[in-house]
Amino acid sequence: MPASWLLHRHVPGDSERNAGDRYPLAAESKETTHFSVVDSAGMAVSNTYTLEESYGSRVVVRGGGFLLNNEMTDFNRIPGRTDRKGAIGTPANLIVPGKRMLSSQTPTMVFGHGRLVLVTGSPGGRTIINTVLCTILNTVDFGMDIRRAVDAPRLHHQWFPDRVNFEGAKRPEQKAIVDQLKALGHQFNNKTDPQGDAHSIWIDPGSRHYFGAADHRIGGKAAGY
């Protein structure tokens, strides 16, 4: 960190904490955010970032105008304890100076024959890796256009708990797939919550035209210039 960057921690007083009761505040997500960008020269950015709950650590870089996150919560705080809420109790994720915490963030750019064809990524905690994988498989292996690839139902399995999350589990058109997985011994969660928010850009290999698809699951939009 440059010496000219000063950190400032602001703890709101009672009057500030209650300001929301008197003044309407804009809605602000507490979750990780992802955006994909490709400029007119073909330069691309896949950016997945998080504050880890609202306002992160509440530490602002003075002069920088941005908040620092609270990713310390992704370290193992209770050695030996692993629970269903996502805490991993293995020694690899213990808090140690200089160590990077466990993370599933997967900002991704896909290239074919040395040329960019897909920019994608997603929020979603442990589901992020599988959300990105589903988007890539849909475009690269199943030949879907980017709109269909982003809209398609997603599947997630994270070992613990040993159950499958599948957005299409209750859809009649997905019954055959679900039955095949159950026959292999997989158990499905009853909940079919939306998974991820994979705002993506696909670049046509022939025309090099850009096609953006905003994910309907959380919100956002695709825009060009």
Give catalytic residue positions: 32
Phi, psi of 42 (to 5 degrees): 90, 5
In the 8-state DSSP scheme, what is residue 188?
Answer: B
Cα of 53 vs its chain's centroid, Å: 14
User: How many other CB atoms are found less than 10 A from the CB of residue 201?
Assistant: 23
Close Cβ partners of 206 (under 8 Å, ≥ 6 residues apart): none
Residues composing the chain: 225
Q: Are the CB atoms for 7 and 68 separated by under 8 Å?
A: yes
Close Cβ partners of 178 (under 8 Å, ≥ 6 residues apart): 166, 168, 169, 188
Q: Are the CB atoms for 23 and 17 separated by under 8 Å?
A: no
Element (H, E) at 50: none
